[in-house]
Structure 1
Amino acid sequence: MRTRRELTTPAERAVHATLHTASLAAHPLRRGLDQQSAEEAAPHLRLLTGADALGIASDDGDLLAWNGPYPELAERFTELARQSAVDGRRALVSNPGSGAIALVAQPLVVEDAGVVGVLGVVTNTSPGPGMLSAITEVARYASSQIELAELDASRARLDRAEVRALRAQISPHFIYNALNTIASFVRTDPDRARELILEFADFTRYSFRTAGEFTVLADELRNIDRYLTLERARFGSALQCKIQVAPEVLNVVLPFLALQPLVENAVRHGLAGKTGTVTVTAEDAGTDCVVSVEDDGVGMDPEVLRSGALDAVEGGESAHVGLANVDDRLRAAFGNDYGLVVDTAPGAGTKVSMRVPKFRAGIAAAPPRPTMDPL
């Protein structure tokens, strides 16, 4: 029988131990540099540098963590850290006190951000070129993890900005027309007006919520149904709607407000005021879920799509509001295999489909928030 190859040589064991220690240091630093992450990473960084004691300071020189003996040297380290942060260069003090041989302050530098912190090393031996090089490499490694944390945070901020942009793109004409439609029922059919007011309130409450960048398909479809209810009240029999959903995909997670732009475009630009049908389907496709929004309206020239003009301007207003935004968010969340697919031709209607994985590690919908009971 063949067994897994063991790490037998000292060199192999040393490499394995170093990589394991580096991964333990990376985990907290990927959250960004603060007191908690510094305290968690400090013992692992100390092992990597071979230091007798190790400190981590902020870019202002404030002490975030100290690991090992010589706590009385922490204040001396913060003074050296401030100098190193300003200069952006390594600083070294021989015989800093308490019997230590050297104190080294190595700035943590992130490209385009400058110094984000300072690594401090206390040693009982004179730091030679090898040790100084090791300190530099560990600092560079720590800096790269902090930079990745900032990139993650920037991506999250971008996602939030894109959601805000989608909210802003919810047509003001729709809101104006919905309120006008409700007003028209107030005298002729008060019960119907009340129902529409509640649908409108729930639609706007969901669309402008602040909880997370992801939602489940069931919630997204529920809001689409509210939107279509309001539009059918306005257009009457000119607008027919069909929603066909496989029950097993209702809990699939997708970007928040991913469906709204697709359905709104089908109503506004696909039917263009003509009598027609909008069909929303969600199907089980093995490891994926396929959601499609189709209209039997005017369609468009595929060449416009091939030119990359998903958000082309027609008459001063976006012809396909938010589709490029949704496409970008799908690809950012799930990869390039999960963008939008558009099938259209002049006079043949338009079908926009998205493929979403049933499960993706690290992506989850925000927990539902309680809604207020209507008065």
Structure 2
Amino acid sequence: MLSPAVDVALIGAVVVITLAVVAVLGFRMSRSHRDLGSDADRATYATLHTVALASEHLRSGLTPAGASRASRHLRGLLRCQALLITDASGILAWDGTQGPPANILQLAQEVLASGRTQIFRRPRLAAIGLEDDRMAEAVIAPITVNGRVVGTVGAFASSVSAGLVRATNEVGGWIATQVELAELDSSRTQLMEAEVRALRAQISPHFIYNSLNAIASFINTDPERARELVVEFADFTRYSFRRHGDFTTVAEELKAIDRYLLLERARFGDRLKVSLRIGPEVLSTVIPFLSLQPLVENAVRHGLDSSTGTGNITITAHDAGAYAEVTVEDDGVGMDPERLRAVLAGHVDGVHVGLRNVDSRLRQVYGDKHGLIIDTAPGAGTLITLRIPKSQPDHQA
């Protein structure tokens, strides 16, 4: 048995070691805490993170599903007992400890009508069936987009402070910004669809008229050839006027171009010379629908329509690292670079509307750095280059 003195010494040693371990752990924890920044830094990060999570659910605008998911994050941001989101006609989301009162929409309708933030206190809330002390007061702010009140956001708490009023107003403004971005995306999509319709309209009068004339010229002299051309014409127009999808593949676009050129050869005969150099590794690359055919049509029209000699067109497609690079070159009359710039900018209407529409769509989809690259001069032909990202997870053919 150890003596009392030794027992005391051992106990003291254990205490010292324990204190030392606690001190080290405390130092490390405090240092880790400091690495996260100040209290203000951490609060800023938490707020931005919450806003980022909520924004994912409002990308399509004010929808019931998106508002419901976003309300969970926004309620935590405002630190209120319940959060309400409405559009102009009804409740989109309610996030709280209990379901919404049956007449809660009456409060939102007052804010929709006035366009101003309003505070509602216990007597008014009790009148619509809300008698929970934890939600004795509410602040409801309008969601205003381009001067239109499109909805409301409301925070319910035991008491409404000036800080909660300001925060709810800010959340209403932030939701309005998300709705505006969603409308912008929708407008951008509608613009792309309109440009595709414009390209189809461009194909219709010029190409269809000439193709039918070429087919008609073979009916008596070579009926079999006429039948083949009718099939190719049907396949080409079916592709050009299809109603599904904004994207296709390089392979599908080249297949349509092959049909188009077959019909044009029936018209121009040996005057039209086409050379193809296609890398198989880029055939599956996704591209905007009708983004190559108008370039080939431009080459035919300006390489042969305005001349009596032979027109040479070269189409290439190859791997260029992260991009698929496609070129369409002709040795035709060329264009004045200044006029071309005005056409692409939309300042001049004319026969190059197809080039402008393709250039505009490429920039909308991939950014301003991905428009058409055009090298041309009067009498020097035209070389048009497209560079399409090979990786496009958001686009499906």
TM-score by length of 2: 0.84
1:258 aligns with 2:286: no
Structure (1 or 2) with the greater helix fraction? 2
Matching residue within 328, 331, 346 for 2:363 = 331
Separation of aligned partners in 2, 1:256 and 1:163: 8
Aligned length in residues: 356
Q: What is the CA deviation profile of residues 283-315 of structure 1, one whole-angstrom value per residue up to 9, with x for unaligned ones?
A: 2211112211111122233332344567787xx
Separation of aligned partners in 1, 2:155 and 2:268: 72
- In structure 2, the partner of 1:353 is 385
Separation of aligned partners in 2, 1:289 and 1:339: 14
Alignment map for 1:89-168 (pairs within 5 Å): 89-95=116-122, 96-97=125-126, 98-99=131-132, 100-112=135-147, 114-124=148-158, 126-168=159-201
1:248 aligns with 2:275: no
**Is contact 1:311–1:322 with CA below 8 Å preserved after alignment?**
no
Q: What is the CA deviation profile of residues 20-42 of structure 1, one whole-angstrom value per residue up to 9, with x for unaligned ones?
A: 22112111111111111111111
Change beyond 3 A, Cα 1:303–1:39: closer
Change beyond 3 A, Cα 1:195–1:88: same
Q: Please give the root-mean-square deviation of Cα atoms over the aligned residues, in Å.
A: 2.2
Matching residue within 282, 285, 303 for 1:270 = 303
Helix, strand or coil at the partner of 1:291:
strand
Uncovered stretches (5+) of structure 2, i.e. residues with no partner:
1-31
Quote how far apart the aligned CAs of 1:212 are.
2.1
Q: What is the CA deviation profile of residues 230-266 of structure 1, one whole-angstrom value per residue up to 9, with x for unaligned ones?
A: 0001111111112211111111222211112211111
Separation of aligned partners in 2, 1:301 and 1:322: 17
Quote how far apart the aligned CAs of 1:318 are.
2.5
Separation of aligned partners in 2, 1:312 and 1:127: 55
Uncovered stretches (5+) of structure 1, i.e. residues with no partner:
367-375
Separation of aligned partners in 1, 2:316 and 2:33: 49
Q: What is the CA deviation profile of residues 87-118 of structure 1, one whole-angstrom value per residue up to 9, with x for unaligned ones?
A: 11112210012133212221111125x11211
Separation of aligned partners in 1, 2:351 and 2:382: 13
Q: Which runs of 4+ in 1 moved over 4 A?
A: 3-6, 306-313
Separation of aligned partners in 2, 1:269 and 1:293: 13
**Is contact 2:138–2:155 with CA below 8 Å preserved after alignment?**
yes
Matching residue within 76, 80, 97 for 1:69 = 97
Separation of aligned partners in 2, 1:63 and 1:118: 9
Alignment map for 1:285-300 (pairs within 5 Å): 285-300=320-335
Amino acid at match of 1:122: F
Helix, strand or coil at the partner of 1:33:
coil
**Is contact 1:77–1:105 with CA below 8 Å preserved after alignment?**
no
Separation of aligned partners in 2, 1:303 and 1:71: 65
Change beyond 3 A, Cα 1:39–1:307: closer
Helix, strand or coil at the partner of 1:76:
coil
Q: Percent identity?
A: 52
Q: What is the CA deviation profile of residues 299-346 of structure 1, one whole-angstrom value per residue up to 9, with x for unaligned ones?
A: 233332344567787xxx833231111111111111222111222222
**Is contact 1:207–1:257 with CA below 8 Å preserved after alignment?**
yes
Separation of aligned partners in 2, 1:154 and 1:330: 16
Separation of aligned partners in 1, 2:82 and 2:345: 57
1:365 aligns with 2:396: yes
Separation of aligned partners in 2, 1:138 and 1:290: 45
Amino acid at match of 1:276: G
Quote how far apart the aligned CAs of 1:12 are.
3.6
Change beyond 3 A, Cα 1:304–1:8: closer
- In structure 1, the partner of 2:9 is none
Helix, strand or coil at the partner of 1:168:
helix
Separation of aligned partners in 2, 1:162 and 1:153: 14
**Is contact 2:343–2:352 with CA below 8 Å preserved after alignment?**
no
Change beyond 3 A, Cα 1:306–1:157: closer
Change beyond 3 A, Cα 1:296–1:171: farther
